Amino acid sequence: MTGAVTVIDVGGTHLRWANWTPERGTWGRRSALSPNFRRYPTLSAPELQTRLIDSICDIVPHTDDTIVGLSFGAALNQLTGTVYASAPLWGPYDTPLNVLDILSRKRGDVAWHVVNDVTAALLHVASQELCKQDRKVMLVTISTGIAARTIDRRTSRIPLDASGLQGEIGHLPMSAVLFDRPIILKCDCGEPGHLSAYASGPGIRQMALALRERYPRDWENSLLGHGDGMPWEETFSSALVAGDSIATKLLDAVTAPVADVLRTALCLDPDLDRIVLTGGVAVGLGAHYRNAILSHLRCKGLYLTSKFTPQWIEDRIVVSDADCLVGAGIAALMERVP
């Protein structure tokens, strides 16, 4: 292929796009805010979906032999291109939408290749030097939503279940505690007690609000209560860098359920040579986030493995950026191989 692939990433917060080739990488990157239910609370989910489809089609140039690699932040049936749900985009709405079919009918001049955004991120990470010697790689994104995906690099296979899904861990039932007291919060999908309700970007904000309400004096004595107009993410990160004890306890609370999932994954599949934590939350907090995860796994680790070979766990867990745009391009080329 000599022409560039138009690569698009639909996230719960941002819509990003660029041109991409394997030789040159990406160029002409642009972004806009995604039409989600938080930005447009008066619009119905079908109206938001229509607006999103129109935005995607407007991005794609009208040229000959146009190829699009689309990374979509949703629970997506990889076998059919059907989106089941996207809590960050549409909240508690789960009527299936065949995105691939709709896009193909609306822009029949385009060769569309649609993958889940975590699949795209995983394809990018798995192609990097970091994973060159690894057998299986799991990528976990901690961002507006939470999900995971695993690839066997020996076969390039990403296993799927009967619904074309894998790794929708953000909606696993999960318990959480805040300052040693149980807490139940509602997920964007409408259900209480999901992993995303506590550990996603919006979930962490919910936990912070609960902390402020339950422990107002601690909040006021913390740097968290004195953000001086900074965005919440910056306030939280700055407080962690400064060693603020309340911010550290909050990080401990929101990473504990994530560590529970990783502990189970490593217990069930020792072939996992690498677990890559990515997404705005994990990458934004960097070493603080990884250290909090590892602290949980040291305290409550794998039976016997944590005692006799603790480094085996630590060597596998890293925080790294992942580019869904590059991964969408890789996926498009993989699908075009005869």
Homologous superfamily of 168-270+280-319: ATPase, nucleotide binding domain (3.30.420.40)
Q: What is the pLDDT of residue 1?
A: 44
Do 5-123+323-336 and 168-270+280-319 fold alike per CATH? Answer: yes
pTM here?
0.91
Report pLDDT digits (tens) over 115-164: 999 999 999 999 999 999 999 999 999 998 999 999 999 999 999 999 99
Averaged pLDDT, 64-85 = 94
3: pLDDT confidence band, cut at 50, 70 and 90?
confident
Name the one residue in this structure whose structure tokens are 């039976």. 303
Domain edges within the chain: 5-123+323-336, 168-270+280-319
Q: What would the 3-class secondary structure string for the chain be?
A: CCCCEEEEEECCCEEEEEEEECCCEEEEEEEEECCCCCCCCCCCHHHHHHHHHHHHHHHCCCCCCEEEEEEECCEEECCCCEEEECHHHHCCCCCCEEHHHHHHHHCCCEEEEEEEHHHHHHHHHHCCHHHCCCCEEEEEEECCCEEEEEEECCCCECCCCCCCCCCCHHHCECCEEECCEEECCECCCCCECEHHHHHCHHHHHHHHHHHHHHCHHHHHHCHHHCCCCCCHHHHHHHHHHCCCHHHHHHHHHHHHHHHHHHHHHHHHCCCEEEEEEECHHHHHHHHHHHHHHHHHHHHCCCCCHHHHCHHHHHCCEEECCCCHHHHHHHHHHHHHCC
Q: Which fold has domain 5-123+323-336?
A: Nucleotidyltransferase; domain 5 (3.30.420)
